[in-house]
Amino acid sequence: MRIIVADHPLVSHKLTVLRQEQTPQPTFRLLIEELMTLLAYEATRDVRVDPMEIQTPVAQTTGVRLSEPLPLIVPILRAGLGMLEGMVKLVPTAEVGFLGMARDEETLEPVTYAERLPDSLEGRQCFVLDPMLATGGSLAAAIEFLFDRGADDVTAICVLGTPEGVEKIKEVAGDRNVTLVLASLDEGLDENAFIVPGLGDAGDRLYGTA
Ligand code: PRP
C-alpha cells in the first residue's frame, strides 16, 4: 500500500482552522471542500489517461483524456459527502457512487446502511472519500466492498488518519493496489475511539447531530 501525507503549508493552514472547536459550521464545510481539492491533486497523480490527437490554432499535438471506464468517486455517507464537491471540481467527468456507513459507537464495528454503486467495477479506478480514518473499520469495509465488486485500484482520501487506522488499511490492502492520501497522520485514538488531537465528529460538524 502506498501512503501519501500531504506536505503543503496551505493544507496545514486550512487544517488548523478546521481543528479549532470555535470554527463555525459554514466555514468548516467550506474548508473541508477546499482541503479536498488540494488532496485530490495528490490523489489523482496516477489517474489513467489515454493519448488524444488535437489541433491547436497553431499546430497538431498530442494531449490526454481520462481513460474509460471513467474513475468512480465514492463518498462514505455522511461525512464523506462534505468532500464530494471538492473532488468533483477537479474531476468533473468522473462518476459518483455512494456507500452509507456508520460506526456502531458501542462495538466500533461499521454498519453498511446504504449502497448505490454500479454492479460491476471491473477495471475501475475508485476514489473513496471519508474525512476520518479512526480505527479503520469503516474504510477497510468500504475498500473490501469495492474489490469484491471488481475494482482493481482503490485510492482512499481522508483528512485525518491514525497509526491504528493505517495498520488496518494495510492489512485489508494486502498486495492489492491501494493508495491512502491523508492531510495529517494524527497521534492516535482516545478511550472513545475519537482521533487525537483530531477535529471532533466530522459528520456532526458538517451536518449537525443526527
Ligand atoms: C465516522 C467517520 C468514518 C468513521 C471512522 O463516521 O466519518 O466513516 O466514523 O471511524 P472508524 O475508522 O473507527 O471506522 P460516523 O460513523 O460517525 O458516521 P457519519 O459520517 O454519519 O457521522
Q: Which ligand 1 atom is nearest residue 100's CA?
A: 21
Q: Which ligand 1 atom is nearest residue 203's CA?
A: 22
Residue 53 CA to ligand 1 center (angstroms) comes to 44
Taking CA atoms only, the protein residue closest to ligand 1 atom 2 is: 132
**What pTM value is reported for the model?**
0.95
Domain coordinates in residue numbering, the chain? 2-46+69-207
Nearest Cα residue to 82 out of 18, 153, 167? 18
In order along its 210 residues, the chain shows pLDDT tens digits of 999 999 899 999 999 999 999 999 999 999 999 999 999 999 999 999 999 999 999 999 999 999 999 999 999 999 999 999 999 999 999 999 999 998 888 888 899 999 999 999 999 999 999 999 999 999 999 999 999 999 999 999 999 999 999 999 999 999 999 999 999 999 999 999 999 999 999 999 999 976
- Say which CATH topology domain 2-46+69-207 has: Rossmann fold (3.40.50)
The residues lining ligand 1, judged by C-beta closer than 6 Å to any ligand atom, are: 76, 78-79, 101-103, 108, 110, 130-139, 165, 193, 201-203
Angle at 112 between CA 48 and CA 154, to 5 degrees: 15
Query: How far, in Å, are 46, 129, 152, 177, 185 from residue 163 at the CA level?
Result: 25, 18, 25, 20, 7
DSSP state for residue 51 in the 8-state scheme: E
Residue 128 CA to ligand 1 center (angstroms) comes to 13
